[in-house]
Each structure stands twice: as C-alpha cells, then as structure tokens.
Structure 1
Amino acid sequence: MSSFDDKVALTIEGMDSKARGIARMDGYVVFVPGALVGETVMAKFVERRKHYGIAVIESILKSSDYRVPPKCKYYEACGGCDLQHASYDHQLHIKNELVVEAIGRIGKWPAFDVEPTLPSPQVWGYRNKAIFQARYQGGRKKLGYFAKGTHEVVEIDDCPILDPLLNDIYRLAKCAIEDSDITFYDEHRGKGLVRNVVVRSSLSNQKALMALVLSRKPYPTELNGLKRIFAQLVDDKPFNLQGILLNINASGGNFVWGPSTLLLAGDDSLEERLGAFELCYGITDFFQVNVPQACNICKIVSEHAAGSGRILELYSGVGTITCFLASMCRHVVAVEEWRPACKSLSHNMAKNGLSNVTILCGKAEEVVTQKVKDGFDTVVLDPPRTGCHGDVLDFIGKIEPNKIIYVSCNPVTLARDGKILIELGYKPVRISPLDMFPQTSHVECVALMVKST
C-alpha cells in the first residue's frame, strides 16, 4: 500500500454523510472531500487511520458531468458549505441517496420507499440566520466563519446562501466592531469579550435582529462602549435592524447561547409568516432557517396528521408546526425545553387564536415520564440532530399512538430511532426528504409511521 505522503489515483464510488467522495484501495476506504461519484482524482493523503484514510484532491483526472464552479469565493476555505461544486439537481440526488443509505445500512429497516427530494424554493440567499465567529488570532481581531475542521476564522465579505439583508448587516457590524476597542475572544488564553455575532432576519417583513454573544458580563465601560457603537445601528433605517441584544455565555464548549440575554437597543423579537400564521421568535429561539421550505414541512406534517383528535408534539420550538396541527385537530400538547422558546410558543398560540394547545416546558424525556399520560392519536417528533432520547421512544411504545410523524434533520438518527419504532410495532408509510439547506450535505426528512395491525 502507498505511503502516507504518496499521491494516488482514486476512483470515487460513493459519498458519505459529509458529502465526501468514497474510494477504495484494495478494500481500504479513503474519504475525499470535494470529489463526486464517477470522478477519478489524483489525491494526497492527509490522514491515515487503521480502517480509513482522508485524502485531498491534487488534480481531477476525470471530471463528473455534474461538477460546476462554486459560486462562493471562500468555498474552499470556509466550513459552511460542502456541495457548491455539484449542480443543484445532483445535490438533490445526493441527498436522496444519503437518506436511502442511512435507513438501509444503519437502520436496516425491513421495507421502505424514499420519495424524491423536494427542491428548495430558493437555492441561494435563503438562510435567515448566521453565526459569525469573533476571535483574536494572529495578533488581530477576525470576524467570519470557521475554516473546515478547525477553529481558524475565515474572514468574508458576504455569504451567498444568506439573506442579502444579513450580509449588509454583517458588513456594517464588522466595520463598527473591528474599528472599536471592544476585544474579541482569544480561545488559547480564555480572554476577550465578544465570542460570536449572530444575525437573524424575517423574510416576510425584511427586518433583522443581531446578538453579540459575550464570554462574560461586560464591565460598565465596555457596556457603554457597546451601546455607543451599536445603538446607532438600530436608528439606521435602510438596514432594517430592529434590535440588538447581548447574550452572556461564560461556559466552554461549542454551544452558542448562554442563559442570560439582555436588550441593548430596539426590539427583542422578529415576526415571520408561515402560511396563514404569524409567528414571533427571539434571537435565541430555534426557528427554521429556510422559511418557504419550512412551510412545506408544516404542510406535509399536517397532511399526515389529518383525522387526529389529540396530538402530542415533542420538541415544538416556538410553534411553527404546532399552529398547523392545532388548526386541524381537537387538542395539541406541545413540549419544549428551551424556556425562551416556550414563552414565544405561548405568545404565538394566543396571537393566532389557537386556544386548544397545552404547553409543557421541560426536556421531552422528563415531561413524558412525569407529566404526560396516554390518549394520543398521533405523536409528532422534531428532535435535534442527536435524535430522540431513549425514554421518549419507550414512552411512545407504551401509549401506542396510531401515527408517528418524525421530522428529522439527520438521516442517521432517523434511521436509528426508526429502527426502534419498527421493533415497537410501527411500519414506515411515507419518507419525504426536503432540501432545507441547499449547497450543503444536510437534508431534512419527514417520515410517517403507522401502527401495524
């Protein structure tokens, strides 16, 4: 076998869940980022493990018909997108194959059919949220995205998958904060004030919020400085920045938000329209980043739930799916862990005149074991990427609803949890992938499972 430093010619046979090409050398698996199925590449190993290696493309010997030039000039360095080198039709095909592969190989579901991936109504400029990293690196302040597989910040001018409004606000904030004496976070020393700049926008009214995530509570002089720098941005009407907030996150790890959020200037929430419903949400709340496609998810879920009397909805967020469910069934019990989102959820039910929703705030696995009994026709699940807690799946097995509707942002955990539900007596009826995140390998999926007779 070739040495670690050797260049090797590889033929790409498949793709993994990170959109890396898969090649084999005498049975040894090699992952090649940026390669497409059917291509032959000259590649160089950058990592060699016992059972697999990782190689980077040195040159393309045979190119795929589906290869296109990336639109973003930062694509090779930035860690945000991983499929810009594939045509959009091919991206949809890849995502469909990722769902099929996960369910078949990992989940080993006995029988299933996967529908074609539903295209996104927008493939560029669709994202209504961005998290920019603020770091002190190389002797200066840098604001941008992390490079692939590192915490090295790639500075950018704009991001083509972002709502253009957010690009405008990002550039405005970048100039304001980099030219100030406000410090950026130094990961090695654990010092510096600003860790992240988060921007969110509303598609329906083209307004935005911005939050500065701080490593600690600011000193009075720092707080005054932040007010001086950023309060004036809210008054700059052409940018439609309607609020700026501060979030304090003194903990380690990669989770962005800390427990304390305070308003620096303007308003603290956004309004968005999904179908017939108006929804308010805060800067720290979960809200789908692709609003038109999120509306399609809600429609699919409500179609699956048709005829249900009582619905248990777990991981409900601010109530996007809840509104659709409550408008067509007798009663919904909505469970959400993040307390600010629970507040938004309650507000949204009242705002839309939906009085048939009971809201329970707490971790899904704790709520179902302590506060919820049986009597549900349907259970709707929309968990994070890690999937459902085992206690949630056990509870579903005990109450035996007629239908389970699983909204997943990770085919691997859908496959794993679905396998457990099949063992509990459910069978998959419809599996509908949706492209929520164009130009990336991420894929959303709605799976309908019914109780076997």
Structure 2
Amino acid sequence: MFRILIRDVNERGQGVGTVLNDGHDDSVNASDLDRGKVCFVNDALPGEVVTARLIEDKRNYRVLDLVEIEVPSPDRVLPDCEYYPECGSCQLRHLHYDAELRLKENRVRHFLSRLEGAYPAKFLPIIGMGDTRHYRGKSIFPFSQEDGVVTIGQYRRGTNDLIDIQRCLIQSEVSLALVNSVRELANKDGVPAYDRMTQRGILRHLVVRTGFASRQVMLVFVVNDLSVKEQIMSWVPALEETALDAGYTLKSVWMNLQTSRDNRILSDDYLFLFGEETIEEEINGVRYNISPDSFFQ
C-alpha cells in the first residue's frame, strides 16, 4: 500500500500525486526516487490524501487503485450513475461539475502558457451547461454476446468487456431508448453480435446521432456482413415508434460495412437504408445538415 498526496488530475481522470509513505517496512527511510516518482491513482481527486494499491510500477511512474481516502476533497460527490466507475465512458462522475470546469480551464491555461505568443490578454471562464444530463449528440454503442444473448452498451474501464447499459446520464434519452429496442429486436430475431476473437457474427456497433433542436435522430448499424440488411429494415417500424415515444422522429437509417480486424469503428463503406440521408441540427440560429460521417458532436 502507498500513501499519496494528490495534486492534479490527468486527461484520463486519474489523480496525479507523489508518495508520502511508500508502504514498505523501511518507508520512513524511503529513497528520494520513491518519494518523487509520479503516481496515477484511479478515482482520486486533487487535494486528497489517499491509500492506494499498486497496479503497475514503471521506471518513471506508478499506476494505482484507490483503496481508502484519508483526507477527502471538498469537491468529491457521490457518483450519480449506477454503472460508475466500472463503465469506461465517464471518469469524473465523483467530481462536482463546477470543480470539473475549473480543472479543464486550468489545463487550457497551462497548455497556452507553453506556447509563445498564444496566451490571451483576457481569459474568460468556461461557460458550463445548465443541465449536465443527456447532452451527447453522437453516441457509439458496441455490441457483444454472452451465452447466446446479444448485449449493447459501453466497455468496462480499461478492458474490452462490455457492460450491458440500460440507462445513461450523458447519452441522449432517445439514444438509450433506441439501444434498448435494438437489443430486444436483435435477440428476438437471432441476429448475432460480432466476435473479434473468432471473426464471426454481424452486429459490431450502433451509432446514434441526435438533433436536439430538430428532434430528429439517425441510426448507423455497423456490421460485418450486409446480409442483415432486410432484417434491419424490418426493425424500422418498431424503431420509429420508439423514437416517437421519446419525442423524436427517426429520420435516417444507414448501414456501415466494417470487415477490418482492428479496432476501427467505421469504414468508408456506407449503405443508405431509410428516410433521408441527413438530419438537421441548429445552434445559435445556424442550421447544419449532419451526415453519418460528419465531424459534429
């Protein structure tokens, strides 16, 4: 065990600190190298003194799991998600949103300060969201299969193991409604998820794009085999109804053929199936047409 003072948070949401007590029998006489080595502690926050268990000990840094919080941060909050921290989509559900904005602002200030002539004369604070829930306009959900049952959700933190997500506080509400419907339809019709180990199966990812202003939604089924086209088309009426129940219109449905064996989610091979080719979104009076491969989120 190691006793660590946390001073910052990195881009992965890990607390960054140094050893106060290295946990060995001779910890009082720990070397300067041990005390100075950077420690990355999962789920720890700035200002905290924590006890942590070693996972990796590299030449210049350590990675550790949080065991006990000796001195908690005043910005620590109870996570509001039933899947946290196992789900790998969020790293800071245990940090108050105002503190998260301060951390991000400080990180931007730090990066700009290292660029000659780039630091602005006046630095305005980040404008935070009024509602921090269900804001994500583009969502990607991988498929998996266990004991013959198709699951869809997000990967467990640091692994390729899938957590079957039924609810989520950051994805749009209509996207989760559609995810739950697709899971049910795939299992009912026996359409298998793709298995990267065996290179078999069909369903790889579901991409959902939400137009909050237009109340339009797009689905992209990423598949390993186009033979499932007619099956997916048969799901459209049920998915239209799901979207309507959530206050949206299912405006566009696509397939994306991805046969690569690596981790890439999308290929360049799209097949239009239903509705219109784009959905609309409006921000500050400007209308955007969003295609399946638009960089817009």
- Verify: 1:209 aligned to 2:218, yes or no: yes
The letter of the residue matching 2:14 is: R
Distance in 1, Cα, partners of 2:65 & 2:290: 42
Within the alignment, does 1:224 sit opposite 2:233 as a pair? no
The verdict on how the C-alpha distance between 1:86 and 1:180 changes in structure 2, with shifts beyond 3 A counting, is: same
Question: Match for residue 155 of structure 2?
Answer: 146
Q: Please tell me the residue identity of whatever aligns with 2:260.
A: S
Counterpart among 5, 8, 27 of residue 2 in structure 2: 8
Any idea what the Cα deviations from partners look like across 1:253-288, whole Å, max 9, x if unmatched?
333221121222333321111222222111221112
- Distance in 1 between the 2:118 and 2:201 partners? 54
Partner AA of 1:157 in structure 2: Q
2:230 paired with 1:256:
no
Alignment of 1:113-132 (within 5 A): 113=120, 114-132=123-141
* Structure 1 residue identity aligned to 2:214: N
2:109 paired residue among 90, 95, 100: 100
**Aligned twin of 2:208:** 199
Number of aligned positions between the proteins:
277
Contact 1:234 1:266 survives alignment (8 Å): no
1:62 Cα deviation from its structure 2 partner: 1.2
Determine the structure 2 residue equivalent to 1:109.
116
- Quote the offset at 1:103 in angstroms: 3.4
Deviations 1:88-115 (A, max 9, x none): 11011110122233334xx453672543
Q: Are 1:155 and 2:164 matched, yes or no?
A: yes
Task: After superposition, give the CA deviation of every residue in 1:288-339 in whole Å (9 maximum; x if it has no partner).
Answer: 2xxxxxxxxxxxxxxxxxxxxxxxxxxxxxxxxxxxxxxxxxxxxxxxxxxx
Match of 1:190 in 2: 199
> Structure with the greater relative contact order (CA < 8 A, sep ≥ 6): 1 or 2?
1
1:72 to 69, 81, 98: 81
> Are the counterparts in 2 of residues 169 and 241 from structure 1 also a CA contact under 8 Å?
no
Distance 1:67 1:108 in 2: 32
Letter in 1 for 2:178: I
- Output the aligned Cα RMSD: 2.0
Alpha-carbon separation, structure 2, partners of 1:127 and 1:60: 32
Q: Is the aligned partner of 1:18 residue 2:12?
A: yes
Amino acid at match of 2:189: S
Q: Please, what TM-score do these two structures have when normalized by structure 1?
A: 0.58
- Checking the alignment, whether the CA contact within 8 Å between 2:196 and 2:261 is kept in structure 1 is no
Unaligned runs of 5+ in 1: 1-6, 289-453
Farther-moved stretch of structure 1 (252-261 vs 54-63): 252-261
Identity %: 24
Distance (whole Å) between structure 1 residues aligned to residue 115 and residue 52 of structure 2 = 33
Equivalent of 1:52 in 53, 61, 67: 61
Q: Does 1:91 align with 2:115?
A: no
Q: Secondary structure at the match of 1:22?
A: strand
- Deviation for aligned residue 1:161: 1.0
**Secondary structure at the counterpart of residue 189 of structure 2:** coil
Distance 1:247 1:120, change over 3 A: same
AA in 2 matched with 1:224: E
| TM-score between the two structures when normalised by the length of structure 2 | 0.86
Aligned to 1:286: 295
What is the alpha-carbon distance in structure 2 between the residues aligned to residue 124 and residue 275 of structure 1?
20
Which residue of the partner structure matches residue 40 of structure 1?
A: 49
In 2, are the aligned partners of 1:12 and 1:22 still within 8 Å (CA)? Answer: yes
The 1-side partners of 2:40 and 2:195 are apart by 32
Would you say 1:268 and 2:274 are equivalent positions?
no
